[in-house]
């Protein structure tokens, strides 16, 4: 498992799943060059989804998308992780993306046991998910190293801003354990260090542009850096509010979805419209594939 995976948004309309828009998003990904998609993660607003909605989302994805589908699970309780895996197993995911526990804090031994027990129970491969902006900590390097030797655990999505941490993880990358960048704004640097892949938010909108950069990094690094530099104006906008609020607003301009989010998130306010308009006008090269879909 390696390459570009889109962390797919969940479109809403009037607080309901927008099924036609979701089908369209899946078709865009299906006809793009990405290796797979991630459902029910942070970008999907998964904490707000009902079990029935999760079922609908996965079933639609299985109908419309025919490459790898990774399913996210974010729970502090092992029993709840097991319950979700038992439910999701019938959909035969490519892997589970398991978020490090949050809120109830951890010990190093505790997080090691957490992932080891999940690996014992899981019928499918596991990706660790390191996201300190939401958990308050990085999964300790020594514990990642130990977990990387488990044949069930095939990689880690690293959404840490620490380049030092990313560099230490790079030493662990093998054919059987891949390092995935979890931050669009730093993926060029991290993929230069370890070329496992990227789980991307921006590829909701420009999957082929993101994939081209990924493909060019090993052999055409100069071109990849040039293309990546075109994305820099977007990163400031995407950090203007918590994910996925800005990407939904940007996608709505291209009529892919409504910008609706579910409480406790709220849609981006209208005063950002002029910023988005300027962003698109000044960066048309980045959005070529979006214009082509119109």
Helix residue spans in the chain (DSSP H): 19-30, 51-64, 78-88, 108-121, 132-135, 141-148, 163-170, 187-193, 207-216, 221-229, 232-238, 245-253, 273-282, 288-293
- For the record, the structure tokens of 294 come out as 């119109």
* Stretch 166-179: mean pLDDT: 93
The gap between the terminal CA atoms of the chain, to the nearest Å, is 32
What value does the CA radius of gyration of the chain take, rounded to a whole number of Å? 18
- Secondary structure class of 165 (helix, strand, coil): helix
d(C-alpha 34, C-alpha 30), whole Å: 8
Q: Let me know if 164 is a catalytic residue.
A: no
Q: Let me know if 129 is a catalytic residue.
A: yes
Q: What is the pLDDT of residues 258-273, one digit of tens each?
A: 999 999 999 999 989 9
pLDDT of residue 293: 84
113-137 CB burial, b ≥16 within 10 A, e <16: ebbeebbeebebbbbbbbbbeebee
pLDDT of residue 246: 97
Q: Which of 137, 124, 207 is nearest to 165 (CA)?
A: 137
d(C-alpha 249, C-alpha 111), whole Å: 36
Q: pLDDT category, 149, cuts 50, 70, 90?
A: very high
Q: Which of 233, 252, 127 is nearest to 184 (CA)?
A: 233
- For the record, the structure tokens of 141 come out as 């390097």
Choosing from 88, 96, 129, 272, the catalytic residue is 129
Q: Residues 6 or more apart from 52 whose CB is under 8 A from it?
A: none
High-pLDDT (> 70) share of the chain, %:
100
Cα four-point dihedral sign 161, 167, 169, 175: positive
140: DSSP letter: P
Q: What is the pLDDT of residues 183-240, one digit of tens each?
A: 999 899 888 888 789 999 999 999 999 999 999 998 899 999 999 999 999 998 999 9
Q: Residues 6 or more apart from 84 whose CB is under 8 A from it?
A: 73, 75
The domains of the chain, with CATH numbers, are 3-219 (3.20.20.70)
d(C-alpha 133, C-alpha 207), whole Å: 25
Contact 98, 126 (CB under 8 A): yes
Q: Which of 40, 45, 72 is nearest to 262 (CA)?
A: 45
Contact 95, 124 (CB under 8 A): yes
Q: What is the pLDDT of residues 88-106, one digit of tens each?
A: 999 999 999 999 998 888 8
Q: Is the pLDDT reported for residue 143 higher than 80?
A: yes
Choosing from 157, 178, 248, 259, the catalytic residue is 157
pLDDT of residue 8: 98
Q: What is the pLDDT of residues 43-84, one digit of tens each?
A: 999 999 999 999 999 999 999 999 999 999 999 999 999 999
């Amino acid at each position: 498992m390696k390459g570009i995976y889109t962390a797919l948004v969940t479109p809403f309309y009037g607080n309901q799943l927008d099924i036609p828009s979701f089908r369209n998003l899946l078709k865009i990904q299906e006809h793009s060059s990405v290796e797979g998609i991630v459902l029910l993660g942070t970008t999907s607003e998964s904490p707000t989804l009902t079990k029935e909605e999760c079922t609908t989302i996965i079933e639609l994805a299985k109908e419309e998308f025919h490459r790898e589908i990774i399913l996210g699970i974010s729970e502090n309780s092992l029993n709840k992780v097991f319950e979700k895996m038992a439910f999701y197993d019938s959909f035969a995911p490519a892997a589970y993306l398991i978020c490090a526990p949050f809120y109830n804090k951890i010990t190093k031994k505790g997080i090691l046991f957490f992932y080891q027990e999940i690996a014992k129970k899981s019928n499918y491969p596991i990706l660790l998910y390191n996201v300190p902006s939401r958990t308050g900590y990085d999964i300790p390097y020594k514990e990642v190293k130990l977990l990387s030797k488990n044949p069930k655990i095939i990689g880690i999505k690293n959404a840490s801003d620490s380049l030092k941490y990313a560099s230490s993880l790079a030493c662990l990358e093998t054919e059987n354990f891949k390092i995935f960048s979890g931050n669009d704004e730093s993926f060029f640097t991290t993929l230069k260090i370890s070329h496992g892949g990227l789980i991307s938010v921006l590829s909701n909108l420009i999957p082929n542009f993101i994939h081209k950069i990924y493909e060019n990094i090993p052999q055409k690094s100069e071109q990849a850096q040039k293309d990546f530099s075109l994305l820099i104006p977007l990163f400031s906008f995407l950090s203007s509010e918590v994910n996925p609020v800005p990407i939904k607003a940007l996608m709505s301009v291209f009529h892919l979805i409504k910008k609706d989010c579910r409480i406790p998130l709220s849609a981006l306010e209208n005063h950002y419209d002029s910023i988005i308009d300027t962003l698109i006008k000044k960066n048309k090269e980045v959005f070529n594939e979006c214009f082509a879909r119109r």
